Structure 1
Amino acid sequence: MRFGVNYTPTQGWFHHWLDFDLDSVRADLDSLAVLGLDHIRVFPLWPLFQPNRSLIRPRAVEQLVQLVDAAGERGLDVNVDGLQGHLSSFDFLPAWTRTWHRRNLFTDPEVLSGQEEYLRTLAAALADRPHFLGMTLGNEINQFSDRPHPDPDRITDEQAGAWLARMLAACERGAPGRMHLHAAYDAAWYQDGHPFTPAHAARLGAVTAVHSWVFNGTAQRHGPTGTATEQHAAYLLELSKAWATDPHRPVWLQEVGAPDPHIPAAGAARFTGATVTAALDCPDVWGVTWWCSHDVPRSLADFPELEYGLGLLGSDRTLKPAGRALAALIAEQRGRTHRPPVRSTALTVDAGGAEAAPHRSVCAPGGPVFEAWAELTAQGARPALVLSELAADTAHLTSRGITEVCTPEDVGGPRRRSSPAAPHRRSTS
């Protein structure tokens, strides 16, 4: 079981690439290593690294390598996000994709060739570093493809899938055999018609990444200590497995945080402990990576208020209650094998078809699948989730250890049906 953090530099936030200070980075990493973490996720800013389609700045790539080496010296493995993309409400896109050079990020042939070469270059620069985990294509880059983005680059789900496959292949060419993946915000799971689909998330790349943020209506509906709120990350981990063709595909809780005021600062430690504990009760979890390492300095302007206080540590590197809670959980888990019991009861998900999932909003907060799962969990059950078209597939159910299936309509009533699967248990490590 891996525990890590999304690295937000104390000096200048992600603008630190403009005035890269390796000593400051090392001090940041020192403050993280003592928490017992074993990896970080880092974010080059795409416009600074590739300001022109044919220019990938060697000095910027060298600084990224220096950061990865510094992390490795402290026992921290590193995942690198490539196409930044979007971070904490700000978009960072190179000028050769916007305004006078406006071209679709996902379909324009010249943009695609530039993206490919950029991702390949970063991966190749790190391919021989033992502490390099692999590439994530970009941070929630799916938000550029659909509403509510104010200027989306519209594409179909087929085009989204083709883009993902092409960019993942570029990463593989640069660093063969590493853990290359993509990451989407929860529109992929919850928003009808969104071109990035649950099938893309759960089937493309080395692992499935989920990003859990309870300001999406969960905390507003269920409160900061509600079961659905404290179990939201676990729900997404289980939801991803409904779409996975490999029944034991690894899932990475790549982002999760305690956003104030949805999670009041006084309750951040409780939420951290409850969220991570719930995630640990899910099978096939690769790791948990908290958002984020350090608070955004108040000297920086125009962030949404909740973005300033998400760190495990303050911008002065002092440890906060959420950081203490996570460090305590890591210490408890050290040396243990991740082996949660099988989730033998499954709730069906009818999203209108596995590929496009045109009715996936049934899985969103307030939707029948989400609310039924939360209700079962509050009753003490540990439900898995299974696509309705697989609910009678004996081989699929058996491979996941599912022995009982119910529908959202069944929850709270006497009617349930047993599946044809035989009892089956599998441990993970």
Structure 2
Amino acid sequence: MTIPQDRPRVPRFGVNYTPSDGWFHHWLDFDLDAVRADLDSVAALGLDHLRVFPIWPLFQPNRTLIRPRAVEQLVQLADAAAERGLDIAVDGLQGHLSSFDFLPSWTATWHRRNLFTDPEVLDGQAAYLRTLAAALVDRPNFIGMTVGNEINQFSGEAHPDPDPITPGQAEAWLHRMLAACEEGAPGRLHLHAEYDAAWYEDDHPFTPAHCTRIGAATAVHSWVFNGTAQRHGPTAVATGQHAAYLIELSKAWAHDPGRPVWLQEVGAPAPHIPAEGAARFARTTVAAALDCPDLWGVTWWCSHDVDRSLADFPELEYSLGLLTNGREVKPAGAAIAELVAEVRAGWSPPPVRSTALVLDLPDQAPKRSLCAPGGAYFEAFMRLAADGVRPTAVLAGHSEDAEHLAARGITELVTVDTIS
């Protein structure tokens, strides 16, 4: 869709593409006709982009072998998307998807070495990201690369076989990987994406500062099964506002007051969001995100349900699609399609959020659990939202910086201890 030049840019609306035939294992038996049918069903919802997931060990089974045929199939997918008016963003290091880890054998067992610090692993990762980006650089519908999907989970203590690193090593790794993406496709929207441990977990090596100061945009992944829905319920303000909260929380650390924020993953996980409430949750969540200034776009997780013939997924993973495994539109898909049409018919950017809740954390934020569901800061923010306030977040270190506050349009400061 072409937007008239006198109209503000409408946020992007897309979907994380989960192939209906074989899930991400479809790369093993790539069927372009099946992909085209999937993309037809996505385009029919009025969406404008896909987030696409090559599986790292299938594309780079040896450190010095990036399979040309696999890269060619990725380009074929991009071209099929373009034929249907869909742009694509590509995640590189998969990495981790829907509870499964996909790591090449040259990083594991007898070849076990740290994913973030080993020099040879870094060389291989950089070559892979650069190759994928370069393969797509001449495609007008290529948005850019995301380094990997929630790859920070490999660095955390919760992982069964973690790759421990310091925040400084995480930062160096991010810069190296993003530089490789830029070398392959200069000037595109290259970024990185972490799951919410970066925002909520004390001492996690990937920090909010990394998320908001490295890369071309900030990515947030909003999942209310993290304790939000369990604590507050499926229809509570906190549940519907969780994605908007992460968007606004990210702005506390950003140096650029207008830095774009991409709601790159958000979904309606059952039973935390009952199936009969998925459409309502979708509308509420996306509407709340659209009320956040500087939103780049919303990319729903996911396109199609996972075929129940596939084993061992957590139960909630099977039913997250906007479409069924048979490509039929589900109620959440219809709700998203209706909302997208409404927004495009009459979009006006939201006003600035002039009230900021002060976050008393040091810049590197080692202790972040107060921002998590149940934490004092999270609960205070949600009380403000329930009262009809449109809060944003500001670090205490910036709360007396007049230039910073003016650049963000903040005119009122509120502290956690003043909210009952």
- 1:337 CA drift (Å): 3.7
1:295 to 290, 305, 312: 305
Counterpart check, 1:214 vs 2:224: yes
Distance 1:235 1:367 in 2: 13
- Aligned partner of 1:382 in structure 2 is 390
1:159 to 163, 169, 172: 169
Indicate if the aligned counterparts of 1:280 and 1:338 stay in contact, CA closer than 8 A. no
1:115 to 95, 106, 125: 125
Counterpart check, 1:333 vs 2:343: yes
Q: How does 1:91-110 map to 2 (within 5 A)?
A: 91-110=101-120
- Aligned partner of 1:354 in structure 2 is 363
Distance 1:336 1:44 in 2: 36
The secondary structure found in structure 1 opposite 2:370 is helix
- Aligned partner of 1:402 in structure 2 is 410
Counterpart check, 1:366 vs 2:374: yes
Indicate if the aligned counterparts of 1:80 and 1:136 stay in contact, CA closer than 8 A. yes
Indicate if the aligned counterparts of 1:343 and 1:402 stay in contact, CA closer than 8 A. yes
The secondary structure found in structure 2 opposite 1:405 is strand
- Aligned partner of 1:146 in structure 2 is 156
Distance 1:140 1:271 in 2: 23
The secondary structure found in structure 1 opposite 2:24 is helix
The secondary structure found in structure 1 opposite 2:406 is helix
- Aligned partner of 2:316 in structure 1 is 306
Q: Which deviates further from its counterpart, 243-252 or 331-340?
A: 331-340
- Aligned partner of 2:276 in structure 1 is 266
Counterpart check, 1:21 vs 2:31: yes
Cα deviation digits, residues 201-250 of structure 1 (max 9, x gap)? 01110000000000000000000001100000000000011110000100
1:196 to 189, 206, 210: 206
Distance 1:199 1:371 in 2: 22
Counterpart check, 1:321 vs 2:342: no
Cα deviation digits, residues 115-171 of structure 1 (max 9, x gap)? 000000000000000000000000000000012111100000000000000000000
> Which amino acid is the alignment partner of residue 257 of structure 2?
P
- 1:335 CA drift (Å): 4.2
- 1:410 CA drift (Å): 0.9
Distance 1:333 1:287 in 2: 12
- 1:39 CA drift (Å): 0.3
2:52 to 42, 47, 64: 42
Which consecutive unaligned segments of at least 5 residues does structure 1 have?
A: 413-429
Q: CA RMSD in A?
A: 0.6
The secondary structure found in structure 2 opposite 1:384 is strand
Distance 1:166 1:223 in 2: 41
Hey, which bits of structure 1, 4+ residues long, moved more than 2 A?
A: 335-338
Cα deviation digits, residues 10-42 of structure 1 (max 9, x gap)? 010000000000000000000000111000000
- 1:350 CA drift (Å): 1.6
1:5 to 7, 15, 24: 15
Q: How does 1:213-252 map to 2 (within 5 A)?
A: 213-252=223-262
Counterpart check, 1:175 vs 2:185: yes
The secondary structure found in structure 1 opposite 2:416 is coil
- Aligned partner of 2:6 in structure 1 is none
- 1:338 CA drift (Å): 4.4
2:134 to 76, 101, 124: 124
Kindly indicate whether structure 1 or structure 2 has the higher relative contact order, using CA contacts under 8 Å at least 6 residues apart. 2
Distance 1:147 1:11 in 2: 34
> Which amino acid is the alignment partner of residue 17 of structure 2?
Y
Distance 2:351 2:127 in 1: 44
- 1:336 CA drift (Å): 3.5
- 1:342 CA drift (Å): 1.3
Please report the TM-score for the alignment, with normalisation by the length of structure 1: 0.95
> Which amino acid is the alignment partner of residue 371 of structure 1?
E
> Which amino acid is the alignment partner of residue 226 of structure 1?
A
- 1:332 CA drift (Å): 0.1
